Amino acid sequence: AQSVTQLDSQVPVFEEAPVELRCNYSSSVSVYLFWYVQYPNQGLQLLLKYLSGSTLVKGINGFEAEFNKSQTSFHLRKPSVHISDTAEYFCAVSESGGGNKLTFGTGTQLKVEL
Amino acid sequence: KAGVTQTPRYLIKTRGQQVTLSCSPISGHRSVSWYQQTPGQGLQFLFEYFSETQRNKGNFPGRFSGRQFSNSRSEMNVSTLELGDSALYLCASLATGGMSGELFFGEGSRLTVL
């Protein structure tokens, strides 16, 4: 079985500063990795995903993530955040070939301040 | 095109009652999965349906059940409600059978059990 750890439950950052949200996973098989964002009272929206190939993945809204197999990590980064990035971010993993089932981390609340 | 539609958006039930939640996936999507989101447990996978067949099931008691119709619409049912069933129930749809596609989430049905 796989698991996902998001070490930071909350990350405060000033507007226009860079941010990194950390995600580590555990799995005995090959995985697909995802980052989702959830705004208040809304569902989840896909930011980016890693399936295979280049380990640096670019997503929407200027976010990117790097897959590091040796460290089993998939950290999310943005070079300059905006107030509108304030939301909860979830890292998720699914076993490649394992069907449509995601295992989520506990989420990181990103709060962007002026 | 229209997104994933979940009804009702909000509902209040009392312990011991049962509830049925509905999900209409994006047109053409054949896979529907359900997740429970609570502050304590986070996002947890309930089950997945593909072409009217349950393909995956999470670790939830038998009180939680679901089904999918020939038009891909899905319903989930929770019988004998408990206080701990209060949660946001999210439905997600996928165009293909595997996770290489993007999972689209609805805005959820928020269930409160009194």
B95: its two tokens: 């165009």
Please give the pLDDT value at position A106.
95
Asked if pLDDT for residue A97 goes beyond 70, the answer is: no
Q: Would the CB atoms of A104 and B43 count as touching at under 8 Å? A: yes
Q: Would the CB atoms of A104 and B48 count as touching at under 8 Å? A: no
Q: pLDDT tens-digit profile of A8-62? A: 999 999 999 999 999 999 988 888 899 999 998 888 999 999 988 889 999 999 9
Please give the pLDDT value at position A28.
81
Please give the pLDDT value at position A84.
95
Name the strand (E) or helix (H) holding A89.
strand A87-95
CA distance A51 to chain B (A): 7
Cβ neighbors of B2 (< 8 A, separation 6 or more) are: B26, B27
Q: How many CB pairs under 8 A join A and B?
A: 68
pLDDT per residue as tens, chain B (114 positions): 679 999 999 999 999 999 999 999 999 888 999 999 999 899 999 999 998 999 889 999 999 999 999 999 999 999 999 999 999 999 999 876 555 667 889 999 999 999
In whole angstroms, give the CA distance from residue B114 to residue A75: 39
- Nearest Cα neighbor of A77 from A9, A23, A26 is A23
Please give the pLDDT value at position B52.
93
